[in-house]
Amino acid sequence: MTIWLLASWLILPSVTQAQVRVPEIADPSLPDIAMVRPDPTHGAVIIYNPIYCQQIGQACGFFRAHEYGHVVLGHHLRHPAHYPAHREAEADCWAAHHAHPYETLAAYRLFVSGHSSPDWQIYGPPQVRAERVRQCAIQAGRWVGP
């Protein structure tokens, strides 16, 4: 798990294809896997919890891509608490198009097993989120799972 995490974090897989790079800051006190916030210097910064990321392994790359999706789509210009559900769905779909296919599959398995954000009103139930991510990856021709 740890090796995969380091790999996905260090080789900066397909997210760089979007040609958007923002600083990524590790914060073990973040009460979530990752989030994005506006930044006066860089436009946005992505903050991630390295402990959660270690726990979920390769799936962390998907969440990282999800945050990049918010940046690319301009969602970060609003407070995260104000992201409507469809923006989260958009970010998930963007991630399914741009994350490494195995990172997307790892996140899918995480959702299928019932893990997701506790805020179901925003992200939808984990099973629904799993299927949404799967459909987006199929659409993009990047689905490697069942």
Residue 24: what are its φ and ψ, rounded to 5°? -120, 120
Q: How far is the CB of 34 from Zn ion (least distance, A)?
A: 8
The one among 34, 71, 91, 99 contacting Zn ion by CB under 5 A = 91
Q: How far is the CB of 88 from Zn ion (least distance, A)?
A: 5
- Pick the piece of the chain touching Zn ion (CB under 5 A) from 25-33, 38-46, 57-65, 87-95: 87-95
Q: How far is the CB of 3 from Zn ion (least distance, A)?
A: 26
Reduced to 3 states (helix: H, G, I; strand: E, B; else coil), residue 83 is coil
Contact pattern from residue 21 through residue 60 relative to Zn ion, giving x for each residue in contact according to CB under 5 A and a dash for the rest = ----------------------------------------
> What angle in degrees, to the nearest 10, is found between the helix axes of 101-112 and 59-72?
110
Q: Which alpha helices (DSSP H) does the chain contain, by range?
A: 2-10, 50-56, 59-72, 85-98, 101-112, 120-123, 126-139
Binding region for Zn ion (CB under 5 A): 88, 91
